[in-house]
Amino acid sequence: MAQHDRTTFSVGGELAVHRMGFGALRLTGPGYWGPPDDREKAIGIARLAVDLGVSFIDTADSYGLGSSEEVLAEALRPYPGDLLIATKAGQCRPGPDRWVPLGRPEYLRQQAELSLRRLGLDRIDLFQLHRIDPKVPAAEQFGALKELQDEGKIRHIGLSKVTVEELEEAREQITVASVQNLYNLTDRHNDEMVDYCEKHSIAFIAWLPIARGELAAEGSPVTAIAAELGATPGQVALAWLLHRSPVVIPIPGTSSPTHLKENVAASDLVLSDDQLARLDALG
């Protein structure tokens, strides 16, 4: 049996989290623009995630223009000691479903301050640059994060949607604890990045881990393997990510308690070498 290596990963070498995380993008309203239509349900989802053992939650200032962070704070404060809430800045929101990179250093600083207020924290454990803004020198954006870190407002720095070249450039200036890039069973264009992160003990936070639900839906390419395991296709897709590398932290998003339970339970799924080989071949 090819059991995945570890159930936890230490972000920045010190903050141990369960590797099956939760993405809080969907704790927002239509177009990810405002508060969720059903606030109590969103609060219930966040609490259920933590009750089920999730200790890594990903959010952003831009998710619902702050609503996702507000829901998390209302649901989870006082925060459990082992919970890591990772947030991001660097995308502004001119309207529903619209995202525009904005990496001016003063804007990143303002957004960090707003996230601290909304989350009710003195320090953000993991603060990610949501996008490198091509209109602003990258060194200025990394420098803004470094300043926030030096001042104790953020603990670790992460980057999102970056290439290996961009990551290497950043690492000349800052210590990067995590990379958050798109990665799932059928979209492997970040394979090289996963390997790079593993080599350097950097967390690889996989977004769209079930391809916006496609890998869990009817007709999923993993239906047969799911049947062999008595699991759901979504669980197989998530289990494959955990087997792929010990630095991968999938952050499936859901607004359904049933799906949330299913996703967390995927951590216990053990894939055989044969199943792994067949899943690897789907890439």
Ligand X SMILES: NC(=O)c1ccc[n+]([C@@H]2O[C@H](COP(=O)([O-])OP(=O)(O)OC[C@H]3O[C@@H](n4cnc5c(N)ncnc54)[C@H](OP(=O)(O)O)[C@@H]3O)[C@@H](O)[C@H]2O)c1
Residue 63 annotated in active site: yes
Q: Where is 124: in which H helix or E strand? A: strand 124-129
What is the DSSP code (8-state) at residue 213? Answer: G
**Site residues (CB under 6 A) for ligand X?**
23-26, 58, 160-161, 180, 207-213, 216, 234, 251-256, 259, 262-263
Instruction: Tell me the residue nearest to ligand X as measured from the CB.
Output: 23
- The answer to whether 168 and 23 have CB atoms below 8 angstroms apart is no
Q: Of 103 and 252, which CB lies nearer to ligand X in the complex structure?
A: 252
* Residue 208 Cβ vs ligand X, minimum distance, rounded to whole Å: 4
- Residue 47, SS3? helix
Pick the catalytic residue from 63, 79, 107, 183. 63
* Residue 214 Cβ vs ligand X, minimum distance, rounded to whole Å: 8
Q: Of 85 and 116, which CB lies nearer to ligand X in the complex structure?
A: 85
Q: Of 142 and 183, which CB lies nearer to ligand X in the complex structure?
A: 183
Phi, psi angles (nearest 5°) of residue 90: 125, 5
Q: Of 150 and 188, which CB lies nearer to ligand X in the complex structure?
A: 188
* Residue 13 Cβ vs ligand X, minimum distance, rounded to whole Å: 22
Q: Of 144 and 264, which CB lies nearer to ligand X in the complex structure?
A: 264
* Residue 251 Cβ vs ligand X, minimum distance, rounded to whole Å: 5
* Residue 238 Cβ vs ligand X, minimum distance, rounded to whole Å: 8
- The answer to whether 25 and 32 have CB atoms below 8 angstroms apart is yes
* Residue whose C-alpha is closest to residue 142's, from 114, 116, 112, 105: 105
Diameter over CA atoms, the chain: 53
Q: How many CB atoms lie within 10 A of CB 275?
A: 22
- The answer to whether 190 and 216 have CB atoms below 8 angstroms apart is no
Q: Where is 181: in which H helix or E strand? A: strand 176-182
Q: Which residue has the tokens 């177009």?
A: 31
Residues recognised as catalytic: 63
